[in-house]
Amino acid sequence: MNSFYGNNVESLKKNNDFIDFERLSGSDSSCLEPVQSRTGAFVPVAEIDGKKTSIHSKYDPQKEAERFLSDVDTSGSDLYIVFGFGYGFHVEILLKSIRKDASILIIEKNYYMLKSAFENRDLSSLLGDERVLLLADPDEDTISMIMKGKSSHKMTFILHRGSCQIDNEYYGNISRVVKSYLSTKEVNIATLAKFEKLWNSNIARNINALIDYQGVNNFYGKFSGFEAIIIGAGPSLSDSMDFLRKNRSSRILIAVDTAYSILVRNGIIPHFTLCVDPQVVNARYFEDFIESDTVLVTDPTVHPSVLRFFTGKKIISSPAFDTLKWIEKHTGEKGEITHGGSVSTNAYDFARRLGVDRIYLTGQDLSFTGYLAHAKGSYLDEQIHNHTYRLKNQEMFNINQLRALPPVYIESIAGGKVRTNQKMIIFLNWFEKRNDDSLYNASAAGAKIRNAPGIKQKDVPDLPEKDIAGMIHGIFNKNQISGNAAVKSEIFRNISMFENEITSLSERLDSAVRFSEELLQKFYSNDKKRISEIIRRLDLIDEYISGRVNAKDMIGLSVQKVIHTVTEGYDIDDEKDEKLKSIKKSLFLYKGLKEGSRFNLKILAKMKCLIS
């Protein structure tokens, strides 16, 4: 190894724990030919499709890098994510132009490219800079670890054209993975902001359902030898009615709530329908339908109206939040269902836990098939129709939905490209990560799902008829719950204990808010003696809070947005002073916990009233 390589590796080791240095040294860089450019710098030449191709300019790679980055705004971002390293010319130019407090994350696919670069260029200054982090062919777990806490950062994505010549598909996919992770975090924060209190309120109002309904786990593992069809409400569902009608007596039909009304109106009664969304609008999916043979699979966080409107049999899953598991100590476990952000992901997990041998997806477009967001005839489609008029027709509503997020074009199940957006790609990635060799995509149109082979509905093999409905209702009738007075009494006692703990905790939080507000004032006046005393008192309050595990966790459940805002690196304001920023975040957290304690006392009182 030459001196360039040794110096580069030593510099890289100082602040990089993610490179496999044994893999780096053992990689074969002979597939690249280092060629000296006219300016004297070496550039790599690779053979691509039988043709020798230079990854950087053989004339002046530095000037080429400057031109490449001239269209990139290097003034406003906190983080620059560069896809493709090559020999690093563009990264060197970028590092010189960004702010001192900004950073660069580089993702390079090939270890042999890094080895060749390290052998032919002195990159020690670049690699040793604390603002630069280099990853080589990272997996999604590594990306998740690196990106944690950076969701709020202003980012710029840079795709190096020269590197993409070697493997355009890889860099396209890894870019999608990073953006999907960031979108997931943004969606999670937005979801927490919108629903955290509604989740808690709904669970309180559904306390009797948790006591009286049997669990979904009574059905788990009972359907080996069966196959299931998951029915989403994507636009292509309208083209799947004959397929579903034909298979209703031979395969288990599991519909998402959005698709339920469409199916029933077409004379197709699904065996199960799932509802997990906390919003009241989801109750409308079951409005005006007489009792049917469908079993509703519900989550404790759904709006209580769902349970009133659905007139058939109902089963319930366990609370998804660990802090509410105490309820099941008295009711018995109801059974888990994995959440993936979409009711279709819940439906898939439910089917898997039933023990079926094979699962087909239908109506799982994950795209704007025919410029539509959902199947015609759904409740959402009806609402669009009801709100249209001459100057704002249905097509305009769909166009607005298409424009809500930037378009992304991905491979279609039918070939070619299909339009989607980053939110739907989150769910697409979720299905792809299952790596389930028994999962098939039988949607009539929509996005291609890797690891879920596409199959035309006419090619799905016929199966003999089975008494699926009879088996389901036999399990249901066998496990009905009775005699719950003792359970309600125990839960009532638990609630009273929580009320006492949270009341005591709330008093400390009042003090913590007052002390934090004073700390902020004393910081500005530089009263070091009083600052030390306040910090000591806040430490004592923190110690008290930490010791009240049950109350702390219950409050924390209702202030997840506040907690994520602090832990994920979101700034409360544009404050640059780190100490002052820390004080403001502490005040923000204490205020959130204080509000959460008051909210939870109301929720607990509601629970007691309902089970009395």
Residues 73-120: pLDDT tens digits? 887 788 999 999 999 999 999 999 998 889 999 999 999 999 999 999
CA distance 128 to 250: 63
CA distance 82 to 70: 15
Q: What pLDDT, in 10s, does the model give residues 29-73?
A: 899 999 999 999 999 999 988 899 999 999 999 999 999 999 888
Claim to verify: residue 246 and residue 355 sit in the same structural domain: yes
User: Residue 187 falls within a domain, yes or no?
Assistant: no
CA distance 570 to 547: 27
User: Residue 92 falls within a domain, yes or no?
Assistant: yes
**Predicted pLDDT at 76:** 76
Claim to verify: residue 456 and residue 571 sit in the same structural domain: no
**Predicted pLDDT at 390:** 41
Q: What pLDDT, in 10s, does the model give residues 275-318?
A: 999 889 888 888 877 778 899 999 999 999 999 999 899 999 99
User: Residue 189 falls within a domain, yes or no?
Assistant: no
Amino acid (1-letter code) at residue 124: S
Quick one: which of 596, 557, 588, 569 has its CA closest to 185? Answer: 569
Claim to verify: residue 7 and residue 156 sit in the same structural domain: yes
Does the structure show a pLDDT above 60 at 394?
no
Claim to verify: residue 500 and residue 469 sit in the same structural domain: no
Q: In this structure, are residues 126 and 91 in contact, taking their beta carbons and an 8 Å threshold?
A: yes
Claim to verify: residue 540 and residue 419 sit in the same structural domain: no
Claim to verify: residue 129 and residue 26 sit in the same structural domain: yes
Backbone angles phi, psi at 232, to 5 degrees: -90, 180
Claim to verify: residue 428 and residue 460 sit in the same structural domain: yes
CA distance 106 to 442: 38
Nearest-5° angle of CA 140, CA 144, CA 149? 165
* Mean per-residue pLDDT of the chain: 87
Find the CATH number of the domain harbouring 47.
3.40.50
Which residues face 361 on adjacent strands?
230, 441
Does the structure show a pLDDT above 90 at 244?
yes
Nearest-5° angle of CA 213, CA 217, CA 339? 95
User: Residue 192 falls within a domain, yes or no?
Assistant: no
Q: Which domain holds residue 390?
A: 210-478
CA dihedral over 551, 554, 559, 564, signed as positive or negative: positive
% pLDDT > 70, the chain:
89
Claim to verify: residue 370 and residue 465 sit in the same structural domain: yes
pTM of the model: 0.71
Q: In this structure, are residues 250 and 228 in contact, taking their beta carbons and an 8 Å threshold?
A: no
CA distance 493 to 568: 37
User: Residue 63 falls within a domain, yes or no?
Assistant: yes
The domain boundary, picked from 478, 510, 535, lies at: 478
User: Residue 170 falls within a domain, yes or no?
Assistant: no
Nearest-5° angle of CA 194, CA 582, CA 587? 55
Which residues face 106 on adjacent strands?
82, 134
CA distance 397 to 46: 49
For the chain, the first-to-last Cα distance in angstroms comes to 78
Claim to verify: residue 505 and residue 597 sit in the same structural domain: yes
User: Residue 311 falls within a domain, yes or no?
Assistant: yes
Claim to verify: residue 286 and residue 393 sit in the same structural domain: yes
Quick one: which of 81, 75, 76, 277 has its CA closest to 182? Answer: 81
Per the structure, the count of domains in the chain is: 3
**Cα-based torsion angle of the residue sequence 529, 533, 539, 542 in order, rounded to the nearest 10 degrees:** -130
Quick one: which of 471, 427, 441, 432 has its CA closest to 358? Answer: 441
241 Cβ contact partners less than 8 Å away, ≥ 6 residues apart: 266, 268
The domain boundary, picked from 452, 478, 504, lies at: 478
Token couple for 497: 């204990």
Claim to verify: residue 224 and residue 366 sit in the same structural domain: yes
**Predicted pLDDT at 391:** 42
Claim to verify: residue 437 and residue 567 sit in the same structural domain: no
Classify 381 as helix, strand or coil.
Answer: helix
**Predicted pLDDT at 113:** 96
Mean pLDDT computed over 373-382: 64
Pairing mode, if any, of strands 155-159 and 132-136? unpaired
User: Residue 292 falls within a domain, yes or no?
Assistant: yes
CB atoms within 10 A of CB 3: 9
Which residues face 52 on adjacent strands?
47
The domain boundary, picked from 478, 496, 515, lies at: 478
